[in-house]
Structure 1
Amino acid sequence: MTKTFCLLLAALAGAPIAVFAQETAAPPANPITASEKGFYTLVSGEVVAAAEKMPEENYSFKPTPDVRSFGQLVGHVADAQYGMCSIAMGEQSPMMKGIEKTKTTKADLVAALKDAVAYCNKAFSTMTDAQAAQIVQFMNYHVAKITVLSVNTAHTDEHYGNMVTYLRLKGIVPPSSERPSARPAQSSGGER
């Protein structure tokens, strides 16, 4: 009994050492920017997946006459990516023509959306937390650059909600409602 007790005591005494000896993942170098990028990656991936999932013939679909068509919605989201992320990066938007007004086919709109997401991913990958705290003019406000990126994420998510409605009205299950095993790998924002 004493031998068993001593072995048990030794094992329990060594357990905390084993736990502390395990490698822990180092926090990201820029945790604020990395946290926002994580949410943006999820949201932008869902938007791209929704754009890819809607059939071409439904890109002109409007639930009511006074709202954007599905294709216009995709173009609007792409335009907003360029507009907001260029402000956060402190540069002129490379897409001044307006995707919503100039692109009409599914192929062109999906490609433009993917390019816009890649542009915003560049904003995240090149921005440090110190840069994220720098103040810029956004609409009528002076805000931190990370706020502009956060508003872009929220705006993208808001319009994903619109896209879900359009998809459901056409009898299509939106990407976020599919079972994980049925989801295709997301090509723009990374894996879930």
Structure 2
Amino acid sequence: MMIVDSMKVQLWVLVILIGGALPVLAQPESYRNEVIEKWKNAGAYTLEVARLMPDSGYSFKPVAEEMSFKEQLLHSASNMLWLSSAHLSKQTPPFDYKSLQQRNGLPKREIVALLEQALQYAQTAIEQLPDAELDQKVDFFAGPKTKRQIIHLMHDHLTHHRAQAIVYLRLKGITPPKYIGW
């Protein structure tokens, strides 16, 4: 009788351990799905902000030391391409990120198109990144970072510059789009 009870206890412990480990084992796929969903929504929101500013407002700077509205967008696109092509993807980016800073004379429609391409390239890089590489360290100017941290940095940087662009809209008397979250 004692052996049977001991086996039942061991079986229950095994079930609890396996059951408790399943969510941990499922994390990379769950993480990827969450990040992709958030990236798509952040991209849609950013593109709405970009489209709301009229062509005449793309050169607007609130103060001389700040980037213009278009420079905010080009800088965001450049950063996405740099981080995702240098650290997440082996695919060739749709254009050279370094050249974006020299494209300041482009019209609104072309800037929006470049921003859209950069967002899509970064999204594809995240989607195609193998789960096993999420915790892989890469050389970065701020010290070694995981690819997961690079993804977070891309999102944070996009949010930072989109927020500045939203302030530019407000300063021009334009109501920004409704926030798109998760």
TM-score (normalised: structure 2): 0.76
| Contact 1:138 1:148 (8 Å CA) reproduced | no
Q: How does 1:21-40 map to 2 (within 5 A)?
A: 30-40=29-39
Q: Which moved more, 1:124-133 or 1:68-77?
A: 124-133
Count of residue pairs brought into register by the alignment: 154
Match of 2:71 in 1: 72
Please, which runs of 5 or more residues in structure 2 have no aligned partner? 1-25
Q: Which moved more, 1:91-100 or 1:34-43?
A: 91-100
Match of 1:130 in 2: 132
Tell me by how many angstroms 1:29 deviates: 6.8
Which whole-Å CA distance do the structure 1 matches of 2:27 and 2:146 have between them?
Answer: 20
Q: Which amino acid aligns with 1:51?
A: A
Which whole-Å CA distance do the structure 2 matches of 1:98 and 1:54 have between them?
Answer: 23
CA RMSD of aligned residues (A): 2.2
Which whole-Å CA distance do the structure 2 matches of 1:99 and 1:42 have between them?
Answer: 23
| Contact 2:79 2:97 (8 Å CA) reproduced | no
Tell me by how many angstroms 1:50 deviates: 0.5
Please, which runs of 5 or more residues in structure 1 have no aligned partner? 1-26, 181-190
| Contact 1:87 1:148 (8 Å CA) reproduced | no
In structure 2, relative to structure 1, the CA distance for the partners of 1:88 and 1:97 (3 Å cut) is: closer
TM-score (normalised: structure 1): 0.72
In structure 2, relative to structure 1, the CA distance for the partners of 1:130 and 1:51 (3 Å cut) is: same
Match of 1:89 in 2: 88
| Contact 1:87 1:136 (8 Å CA) reproduced | no
Runs of 4+ in 1 over 6 A off after TM superposition: none
- Compare the two structures and name the one with the higher helix fraction: 2
